[in-house]
Each structure stands twice: as structure tokens, then as C-alpha cells.
Structure 1
Amino acid sequence: MSILLGQPHTEAQDHVQFLLDEHHLEYTPDHGFIRWSASNPQHPRNWLPARKMYDTSLIIFLDLFTTCVSTAGSTAADYARHEFGIGNTLAIFLFVSVSLLGQMVGGIVFPAWSEAFGRKKLYILSTVLFSVFCVITAAIRSLAAVTVGRFFCGFLSAIPAIVVAGSIEDMYNSKDRVWMIFLWAIVANMGLALGPIMSVYITAYWGWRAVFYVAAVVTGTITLLLFAMRESRPSLLLEREVAKLRTTSGLSHLQALNPDHTPNLPTFIRISLFRPIQLFCTEPIVFMVATMSAVAFALIYLFTEALPPIYQSMGFSATTSNLPFLAICIGLLAGLLTRLQDHRILTRYAAQGIPPQPEHKLLGFSIGAPVLAAGLWWFAWTIPPRVPDISWEVPTAALILIGYAVNEFDSVLAGYLADSYRGYAASGFAAVALLRSSMSAAFPLFATQLFDGLGANVAASVLAAFATLFCVIPPLFGKYGQGIRARSRFAKYSLQVEREGGIDKDGY
């Protein structure tokens, strides 16, 4: 193809255009870069449904299981403290908080890395190493091994916990993201609730170390399945497509439109690694979403310590006192009703020709905020000691409301971030995870002191009071959210990048 250099300029241009059409690529309007065409089958949003379903299901299940292992640390701590001769608070710190602090560190590093260098390798590397550190936690009989193992398990779990949101944004348009973000949130939150149940039964029969041996086997198996998934970061895939085009055509000047390009490591560190912190400190939407999501998420970690003693005082055994977490799981599933209503709302906007806005999808958050407050008030005053001789079903029904609300906070606010920041969704979620991990690490440490010191009723009322304050936020987002996004350079730039990238098929 190098003979193009001797051809008339217009003929060379025609040939380049032919090559671009053949590869389903096109020039940006200024002809400076090459971008995807809307019909390109290599773009992740145009993959076959079976392809997307395999990849999405696998990484969502990975997040479910690593989340289970995270909350499973609470039960393991209760048994391991006797073996190591340490106090309850220190055991919780080593088995639960250290893991979440590791996830906080990983949440800063990995999302930006995945945006610049791709997702697939991170998933594979993190999962195999997660398996290794689970074995270290279980096999080496020392507190140092527990500390190292739990920290790096948490550090590596940040990849499915945060990068999954970016992968979903890569593969699905706005209409489909509503459902995929909901599925991801409900599965991850179900992992929070199922972790204590899983660990208490494994520990009761085989000991606390078996929890981490089981985790090592499961994540090792997932690692093998991850090799069959595909890279989904559009900018990286476009670079590869244009590189092939340069090779076959001999035209070295062709350049891909790549907003994620980082020319060197210092630039990557300066821009990418600090982007989540920058988003958290400068973007009001990210700040509010992070705060509310973190409180709702950390509430489940607090419950891993608070619920078993409450239900044991109502006659449950040490093993069955974790079963009320199933009520939270039922509440998570109730979010399906809200998603159906979301679909109706978006369909109505589409029929009217109204472009969808992220604020159009806040119904679940508007419902979830008062439901969370109501559920916590209900729970607070239907449990011992202030309310003795009450059936366990009454406070357990309140946990259904809490489960519903927690999932609405997570899925709706996650979707709001994904729709608002699009290509930088993973960095936005890193900012959320930074606060979420730190709060989740802290809440279990003071749960026992809070509920023992104030009494279960007053302690739960304190939580309910904070949740009540959140009820003012949904109307503020609905009224001012669009204006805030319009003034955000990150939100405007990410939308511009997606439109210039040639794939803007959001529909409704």
C-alpha cells in the first residue's frame, strides 16, 4: 500500500476512505483521528448478546463471591479470636476492616488502570492472586499471614467491586444499563447478606479456615473461565484496530481517537490515579452519591456484628442468628418492581421524543430514601430490650424494607454516575468505593460498642435519624442535577467523547 504516496492526494484519500469503510471505521469531523462507526461489530456495544451475557455474568458472579468472602470475615473473626487469643475488636479489624482498607487502596489504583490499559488482564490477574491470598490466610497459622492475606484479598477484590461498572458501561447503552447496573447491584449486595450465612455454616462444620479454602477453589475456577472473556475497553480495542489498519495500509499517520491515552507513567499517575480523588472533591454529584452509597453499603457490614446478638436474645442459636440476612435478600429482589416502572417511564419519554436524562432514572432513589428511614425506625422499636416478647417476624419484616432501600441506593446511584460520567464511570465508582470501603471498615469496629452502650433500640434510632436526613437529597437531584452536570467539565467531556467516538446508541 506504500504506492499511495505517489498517487494524487484525492485518490489516496479515496483509498483510505475505502479501507475505513471496510473496517467499519470513520474519521472524526475534523479528520484528525479515526473513530468507530456506529455499525462496527467489534465495538463492545455491538457484540452478540450471548457474548456480552457470558462476560457480564462471569464478572458479576465474581463480584458476588468476593463480596461474600468479605463479609464472611466477620464470622471467621468470631471463631479465630479464640485460637489466636485476641479480643473481638482486634479480630474484626484483622478479618474485616483490613480487607476493606485493602479494597480502598485497590479502588484508587485499578479503575484508572483499566481505563488506560484494559479490563481483561486485570480480572484474570486479580482473581488468581485472590485465590492465592485466600490460601495464605487459611494455611499459615499466624496473625501476620491473616493480615497480609486479608489485605491483599481486599486489594484485589476492588477490581470486580469497581471495574465491573466500567465494563457494563463499555458493553451496554443507556437503556440496557438500567437493567445491567440493577443486576450487578442486586447480586453484589446479595453477596453482602449471604456472606455471614455461608461462613457461619462452613465454620460450624469445618472450621473458619475452610471458609478461605473454599474461596480459593471457587476463585481459582473462575480464573479459568475468565480466559474466555474478551477485552471490552473501546479505546483500547480501537487502538488495536487502527494499528492493524496502519500495518496493512502502510499509512503510519493514522491515529485512533483515544481519550484514555497516557504517554508515560508520570502522566498516568498524575492524571489517572488522582482522578477519583479529584472527582470526589470537585464534583457535587460524585460527593453526594459517594456519601449516601457508602452509608447504605456500610450498614450491612455493621449488621454483620449487630444482628446476631439481637436475634440470639430472641431465642436464635449462634448459627441461625445469621438467617435474618435472608430478609435483606428478599428486599433486594423487590427492586425489580422499581426497574419495571423505570422502563415504563423511559418508554413514555421515548414515545414523546424527549431525550433521556440521568435524572429520569432516579425513581428508585426517591422511593428508597424514605423506605430506608422507615425500615430503620421500624426495626429500632420492634427489638429487645425496650420491646420484649415480640415475635422475630416483626423486626425481620423491617429488614426487607432496608434491603430494598440499600439496593436502590446502590443500583440507582450507580446508574446515575454511569450515565453522568460515561467513559469515566470506573473513576467515578473509585471515588465512591474510596469512601464506601473506609466506612465499611469502620462501622463493624464500633457496632458492638454502639449497640451495647446505647442499647439496641437507641443505637438503631441513631442510624434511622441519619437515614431520615437523606430524604431531602432526591428532590435536590431531580431539580438541580441537570444544571450541576452542565457545569461539570468531566460530565460534559465524557459525553462529548462518547459522541465523537462514533457509538452513541443510547436511545432511551
Structure 2
Amino acid sequence: MILLDDINTGEAYGRLGTADTSAPLPDSDAKNRDIEDLEGSTTSVEPEATPPRDPDIVDWEGPNDPANPHNWSSARKVMAVALVSTVTFVTPLASSIFSPSIEQVMLEFKSTNQELASFIVSVYLLGYCFGPLLVAPLSEMYGRNPLYHVCNVLFVVFNVACAKAPSLASLIIFRFLAGLAGCCPLTIGAGTIADLISAEKRGGAMAFWVMGPLLGPVIGPIAGGYLTEAKDWRWSFWVVSIVGGAVAVMSFIFMRETDAHTLLEQKAKKLRKETGNPKLRSVHDTGRTTKELFKTAIIRPCKMLIFSPIVFSLSLYMAIVYGYLYLLFTAMPLVFETQYGFTTGKVGLTYLGFGIGSMIGLAIAGGTSDRLAQRLTKKNGGESKPEYRLPVMGIGSVFVPVGLFMFGWTAENNDHWILPIIGTSFVGIGMVAAFMSISIYLVDAYTEHSVSAIAASTVFRSLLGALLPLAGQKMFKALGLGWGSSLLAFIAVAMIPVAIFLVKYGEKIRHYTIFNMKID
């Protein structure tokens, strides 16, 4: 048997027997005797020929090809990650910037339906439920950039429509459509990170990207509260449209394609035109038609969610935590306006608890994810596994129920206003730990189809994030803030063993699918 140092060029250098007779290895007789002892006979070791490369296959020009996004310069990678992170910040910002002004909206449109008031805020997340099912397959077929650009433009258009909405019904429809367009960076952003950054360094880059979906919903209510006081509720949408428009222009100028499948297909198309050889095709070309590719890609997220227990379990956990976030968002005005007498602007500041907690969680998770994964890899014989990303989630799962208990009972007892805000910061820490661990895990475990895995998770958590707040106000009125929050906390406590179980047995579960269903 022979080890190959360079499988791309076909150059082989002998380790046990030498392929270069001009430079024999020292002690070759001793090595041959060892081989005889092991195999029972003397065997002549011949170099194994590398299979000839199909001249019609288009691939990267070796492992250091500068066209491969993995080989881009650090500055170029930083620019790409920063752009994606900025886009990913703006769309979640729009999900919550509107929440402090909901009472003003209901007054203007002469409605007293509280469930409808909550739905106007959460309907945006319903767009996040359905959008990924279309965005994910299209990105795998046509690349990341076209999806970013189209969705950025549509996002701005629908937010302008929200700002000009003449009725409650039109506002709900335009909010939903804005959510459909806004789901794009959340769906394919992690895939872009995977295109650029190797697995062992992915944690730091993912931490930068995760800041968007975590800080956007927190900063939104702060800005929205003061905008509503100074102007009116429509200015929340105008600000989002202005920021979204600026980001869209930056993306058109600076963003470049990162998807390897798309880049190699573009390269093959160019070479076919230059050489006149119609047989040239990308190494990733499966020979399937566009219709077949789309059909496979569009059902893949659903199949992952339904038939892959590990994807379902992690998505369920993230959905519960994400649903709690938006449920608390709808409860904050009730708590701090009614019990503590805060103005609309000051209520917006109370969301800083989530923001500070998220930043603390981000620092902890971002600083430990790569190091912990590398340490566990070294400890287990150098074999890297996606499951080495999950211990951070297990630790963070403890913070969520602690934060919920603290928020509910301090608000119930009308304790100092800072205490329920501190409670929300604990929820923020746990949410970040879960979000980051799960996102990196899905990318590491399903690199080639990471966009579909993230889409499956996004659909599930957005659905719960949209629906759970609808029951929030009724629950708090029926049970009170203390026992209402405790009910949520007890569910979160029950989820702690699930997180620990997935850390321990996640690898076995990952390789199992219900009914042995083939995901791809």
C-alpha cells in the first residue's frame, strides 16, 4: 500500500516502499522484513496510479486556485462576511421595529382586537416560514448573489408599501411579503460563510453573522419606540426602507458570488464558448435537468425537517427559544407601560436586556466554539465531528428557564424595573448559545446542502415565532406574569436534557433517517 502526497497532480512518494529508485529509503531491508512478518510473504509494493482525470470535467486548478472562495484573501473574505452580516441585520430589524407602535396603529385604523394587534407584528415571521422553501432551492441552482440582489430590492419595495399602507388589511399583506423577501440572508447567509471559511475557523465568522438575527430584533424596538414618539408609526418602515436601500446598493457594488457549484458552472460555460467543446461540464454537474434539480431542492428542506431526527430536534429546540423571544417582545409594552408607567420611547429601551444578554452570549459562544471543537477533535484522535459544536448549546439551555423565572416573578411582584430586564438578558444568553451552536452544527454536518438544513430550521422557528405571541397576552392575563412565565420556563427546563442528549448521541442520530428516507 502507498500513501499519496498529491492526489491532484498524480505525484506519489513512497512511504513503505519507495516509488523513486534513485532515492531509496534508509533501512529498506528492515522495512521489507517487517512487511513479510505482517503479511506472511514478501510483497513487491508498486505505486498506485492516480486515475486519469476526465479532460471534459471542469474543476478548480488545484487546491490553491485563487478563484476558489476558500482561497480568497483575508481582506476579501472579511468584506464578504461583513456584507452578508449587514444584510442579515437589516431584515430581522424590520421584524420588531414596529412592535412599540402597534397601539398607535390600532387607534389609527380603529381596531381593538388584541390578537390582530399581535398578528400584525408576527405576520412578518410567517414570511420567514414560506420564503426559505423557495429561496434555498433557487440559491442551490443559480447561486447566492442573484437571490441576495432580488430579495434586497423586493424587501425595500414592500417596506415602502407598508409605510404607505391605507388599511389594516393592506399593512398585514405587505408585512407578510416583506418577510418573504427578508428571509433570504437568514436562509443562505450560513451557506455563504461555509463557502468562504474552513470548518475549523468557522465559529468566529458565524459569530459575526449571528449578530444580525440576534441584535436586529433587539435594536428594532428601541429605534421604533423613539420614532413613534417623535414622528408616527409609518416612520419605522421609512427608516427600514432607507437602510435596506443603502445595503442593497452596497451589495450590488461589492458582493461577489461564493457558491462553488455556481462558479464552476460559470467557468465551464465560459470554456465551452472559448473552446467550442460542448462536452465540458462542471465537476458538480449531475446531468439532471433544471426541472429535476428544482424539484429535488425544493422538497429537500421539508424532507430534512420531517425525516431527519437530528434536524427536527435541533429545529424544535431553536423554535421554542425563538418563540419565547417574540412572546416576550409582545409582553414588554404590557409590563412596562402598565406596571411601571414607562413612555413608548422608554419601553423601547427595556429591550436592551435582550441585547446585552445576546452580546454576552455571543462573546462566550464565539470565543469557545472553535477552541472547544478543536480540543475535542484532538482528544478524540484527531477526528472532527459536527457534534463538537453542541456543548455550548447544552450550557446555554440552562440560562433560558432562569431568565424566564426571573422576568415573570419580579414583574409579578412589581419589583424594581431593572430585575425583569436582567431576566430577559439571561434569555438572550441562552438564545445566542442555541442559535449559534445549531447554525454551525447544521453547516458542518450538511456542508453541501447546508442551505437546505438552515432553511428547514428557519421555517420551523419562524412558524413558532409567529404563532406563539398570538397566545401570549391571553396566557399572561389568565395565569399572571409569574405563572405564565413559569409555564414557559418549565418547558425550557424539560428541554435541558434534550440538549445534553443530543451532545452525547447526536452523531448516531445524525446518521439515521425515519423509514431510511434518502434526503437528497
Residues 174 and 493 of structure 1: CA distance in aligned 2, closer, same or farther (over 3 Å): farther
Using the TM superposition, give the Cα deviation of residue 224 of structure 1 relative to its aligned residue in structure 2, in angstroms.
Answer: 0.9
Cα separation, 1, equivalents of 2:366 and 2:463:
30
Q: Given the alignment of the two structures, is residue 410 of structure 1 paired with residue 410 of structure 2, yes or no?
A: no
1:78 aligned residue: 103
Would you say the 8 A contact 1:92–1:444 is kept in 2?
A: no
For 1:28 and 1:79, locate their aligned partners in 2 and report how far apart those are by CA, in whole Å.
70
Partner of 2:59: 35
Residue of 398, 401, 404 corresponding to 1:376: 404
Answer whether contact 1:192 1:300 (CA < 8 A) is retained: no
Question: How many angstroms does 1:297 deviate by?
Answer: 1.3
Q: Give the letter aligned to residue 245 of structure 1.
A: L
Instruction: Identify the residue that residue 394 of structure 2 maps to in structure 1.
Output: 366
The 1:166/1:92 distance shift into structure 2, 3 A limit, reads farther
> How many angstroms apart in 2 are the aligned matches of 1:436 and 1:247?
45
- 2:340, 2:417 within 8 Å by CA — same for their partners in 1? yes
Once the two structures are superposed, residues 312-350 of structure 1 have per-residue CA deviations (whole angstroms, 9 ceiling, x without a partner) of 313433321232211111111112123323333334356
Deviations along 1:139-168, whole A, 9 cap, x unmatched? 242234313311110000110121111111
Match of 1:342 in 2: 369
The RMSD of aligned alpha carbons is: 2.6
Q: How does 1:247-262 map to 2 (within 5 A)?
A: 247-258=273-284, 262=288
CA distance in 2: counterparts of 1:297 and 1:28, whole angstroms: 50
Identity of aligned residues (%): 28
Q: CA contact under 8 A between 1:74 and 1:92: conserved in structure 2?
A: no
Pick one of 129, 150, 156 that aligns with 1:104: 129
How far residue 180 of structure 1 moved from its aligned partner, in angstroms, is 1.8
Structure 1 stretch 218-227 or stretch 344-353: which is displaced more? 344-353
Is 1:473 the equivalent of 2:494? no
Q: Which residue pairs with 2:416 in the alignment? A: 391
- Contact map agreement 2:204 2:367 (CA 8 A) in 1: no
| Match in the other structure for 1:10 | none
2:89, 2:211 within 8 Å by CA — same for their partners in 1?
no
Q: Which has the higher helix share?
A: 1
Q: Contact (CA 8 Å) 1:189, 1:407: kept in 2 or not?
A: yes
Asked if the contact 2:138–2:294 (Cα under 8 Å) also holds between the matched residues in 1, the reply is: no
Aligned to 1:292: 317
Shift of 1:41: 1.0
Return 459-468 or 86-95, whichever deviates more. 86-95
Query: In 1, distance between residues paired with 2:345 and 2:87?
Result: 26
CA contact (8 A) 1:286 1:428 kept: yes
Q: Which runs of 5+ in 1 are unaligned?
A: 1-16, 19-26, 498-508
Q: Distance in 1 between matches of 2:228 and 2:297?
A: 41
User: Taking structure 1 as reference, are residues 231 and 432 closer, same or farther at Cα in structure 2, changes over 3 Å only?
Assistant: same
Residue 51 (str. 1) matches residue 79 (str. 2): no
Q: Which residue of 2 aligns with 1:4?
A: none
> Based on CA coordinates, which of the two structures has the bigger radius of gyration?
2
- 8 Å CA contact retained: 2:85, 2:211: no
C-alpha distance after superposition, 1:58-94 (max 9, x if no partner): 1211121111111123223221111111134354355
- What TM-score does the superposition give when structure 2 sets the normalisation length? 0.84
Partner of 1:448: 473
1:316 aligns with 2:342: yes
User: 1:431-466: per-residue Cα shift (whole Å, max 9, x none)?
Assistant: 111111211111221211111121110100011011
CA contact (8 A) 1:115 1:260 kept: no
Higher relative contact order (CA 8 A, sep 6+): 1
Give the secondary-structure state (helix, strand or coil) at the position aligned to 1:207.
Answer: coil
What's 1:216 paired with? 241
> Aligned residue for 1:123?
148
Q: 1:487, 1:448 → 2: CA distance?
A: 40
SS in 1 for 2:98: helix
1:468, CA displacement in angstroms?
A: 0.4
